[in-house]
Structure 1
Amino acid sequence: MPTLPREQPEPPRAESHKARRMAESFGVDAQRYDQARPGYPDELVTRIAAGSPGLDVLDVGCGTGIAARQFQAAGCAVLGVEPDARMADFARARGLRVEVATFEDWQPASRTFDAVIAAQSWHWVDPAAGAAKAARVLRPGGRLAIFGHAYEPPAEVAEPFAAAFRRAAPDSPLTTQPARRPLDLYLAAYAKLADPIRETGQFKDPEQWRFDWERSYTRDQWLDLLPTTGGLTQLRPGQLAEVLDAVGDAIDSLGGRFTMNYTTLAVTAVRAHTP
């Protein structure tokens, strides 16, 4: 599933859940991750909460709790499941209940929920096993909602980034990615997520939602976010500095800030009522 720039792991997308080193690299600086990563449109949160039979929410791959806190603010009771203990500790310190496990290994202990959400995290879950487990822990009429951001910086920022990344980490499999990826790739990836949900036979037909918005970034704000993305969390300090210097220079040439056009995509399905 596409997420942030350069966040694709080495294995094919269908096997992203096997790339545990990448999946569990984001906790290296949990505070920066929490401060720099964008939240989600309020309209999305409201629509999920209103379209669920109740307010008990399970957050799969909750990270530091960015989405979970938005659902808490909407009146939901949220339980997070997170494989990285560093991220889980950060989320707990901000009032979220979190259990440390991958979703595949997590033990629900007969608990059920009105909504299962995965914010920018479902690509680290085995798609077939994840859909089946979500069906098991959802109450009849409960909603599975998988969502994340599709965004690419403008070419004036993306191209210097790609060139610097190729120089700094020439052996990385991520260097083969284009500087910018079209939205159609993201839309196709989210459409594909619906297949294993349908294959469970436990959900009504999945829907796709889209929310377009934008955000302005200063040079410092963008350079704070970049090290939290998957392609950069594993770079050595010298490699990271080379990439950030090039991107910083590019943003300076634009007057020190730029506007990011975001599209937040979701695939969502309602748990069918059992006969």
Structure 2
Amino acid sequence: MPTLPPEQPGPPPARPHEARQTAESFGTDAQRYDQARPGYPDALVARIVAGSPGPEVLDVGTGTGIAARQFQAAGCAVLGVEPDARMADVARAAGLPVEVTTFEAWAPAGRTFDAVIAAQSWHWVDPVAGAVKAARVLRPAGRLAIFGHVFEPPAEVAEPFAAACRRVAPDLPFSDQPARRPLEVYRAGYAAVADRIRETGQFGEPEHWRFDWERDYPRDQWLALLPTTGGLTRLAPDKTAAILDAVGTAIDALGGRFTMRYTTLATTAVRTGGS
């Protein structure tokens, strides 16, 4: 999906968790990231909280704490794990405790949690090691919840973006993909996540949840979000500006704004066993 490069389970690139330069590039402008990125449906947060045995939550790849703050507002005590110190600093400034490391290297030090969440971040975690570690730090009946947005703007915005990427930055890993991808592509990614969870033998049968919602984007808000996405975070400023100019022109032709129809997908499973 060239419109927003893959930041959630989806098709290859293979082994995206090994692409550490991209994985840790989102802190290039952490404040912009925090201000521009959307939050998550309240119904999703409420369902995870209601389906967990207690309020202690571990947020894997917490970033600037966008999801974590929503769980805090729902009454949870949240600890973030985040490999990018710049992102962690923004989260800490908002009152979230964060430990700076990858989830694979993070030391639980005997701590356990009622829920382990990963918001738009699990694809940066080794899918096998991550599921095993989540099981290890979850209490009995604790819930693992992996979720993220499907970013697919209307064709009138997506196609000019894709064309600009091919023209300005043909070496980007997503430049040869179609302008928009069907929802089934993302569902397949979450199905693969479920397979890795099953393989641990530590969880009940994974469930798949879906939340549909809309957000109106004025031109400037969408252009603020685009540079925070994978791939564009590492482009030279002049190339980013050229892509944003093309997208801005397309949005102007729509009257200066457009409606984004989001789908937020989740794969979730409950930890089984007595310890």
Shorter-chain-normalised TM-score: which range?
over 0.9
Any runs of at least 4 consecutive aligned residues in structure 1 with deviations exceeding 4 A, and if so which?
Answer: none
| Aligned partners of 1:4 and 1:149 also within 8 Å | no
Distance in 2 separating the partners of 1:81 and 1:87: 11
Distance in 2 separating the partners of 1:3 and 1:271: 36
Corresponding position of 1:229: 229
Distance in 2 separating the partners of 1:134 and 1:99: 16
How many residue pairs match? The answer is: 273
Shift of 1:8: 5.8
| Aligned partners of 1:103 and 1:130 also within 8 Å | yes
| Aligned partners of 1:7 and 1:231 also within 8 Å | no
The residue correspondences of 1:126-165 to structure 2 (distance < 5 A) are 126-165=126-165
For normalisation by structure 1, the TM-score amounts to: 0.96
| Aligned partners of 2:2 and 2:174 also within 8 Å | no
Shift of 1:35: 0.4
Question: Which structure 1 segments of 5+ residues have no match?
Answer: none
Distance in 2 separating the partners of 1:226 and 1:134: 31
Give, as a single letter, the amino acid of the residue that structure 2 aligns with 1:203. F
Give, as a single letter, the amino acid of the residue that structure 2 aligns with 1:5. L
Shift of 1:166: 0.8
Cα separation, partners in 2 of 1:181 and 1:161, compared to 1, 3 Å: same
Shift of 1:7: 3.4
Corresponding position of 2:186: 186
Corresponding position of 1:270: 270
Q: Give deviations 1:117-143, integer Å, cap 9, x for gaps.
A: 000000000000000000000000000
| Aligned partners of 1:3 and 1:120 also within 8 Å | no
Shift of 1:187: 1.0
Question: Which structure 2 segments of 5+ residues have no match?
Answer: none
The residue correspondences of 1:24-103 to structure 2 (distance < 5 A) are 24-103=24-103
Question: Identity over the aligned pairs, expressed in percent?
Answer: 75
What SS does structure 2 have at the residue aligned with 1:175? coil
Corresponding position of 1:201: 201
Distance in 2 separating the partners of 1:148 and 1:257: 23
Q: Verify: 1:166 aligned to 2:157, yes or no.
A: no
Cα separation, partners in 2 of 1:3 and 1:192, compared to 1, 3 Å: farther
Shift of 1:13: 4.2
Corresponding position of 1:6: 5
Q: How well do the aligned residues superpose, as a CA RMSD in angstroms?
A: 1.6
Cα separation, partners in 2 of 1:13 and 1:136, compared to 1, 3 Å: farther
Q: Give deviations 1:59-103, integer Å, cap 9, x for gaps.
A: 000000000000000000000000000000110011000000000
For normalisation by structure 2, the TM-score amounts to: 0.96
Cα separation, partners in 2 of 1:263 and 1:84, compared to 1, 3 Å: same
Shift of 1:273: 2.3
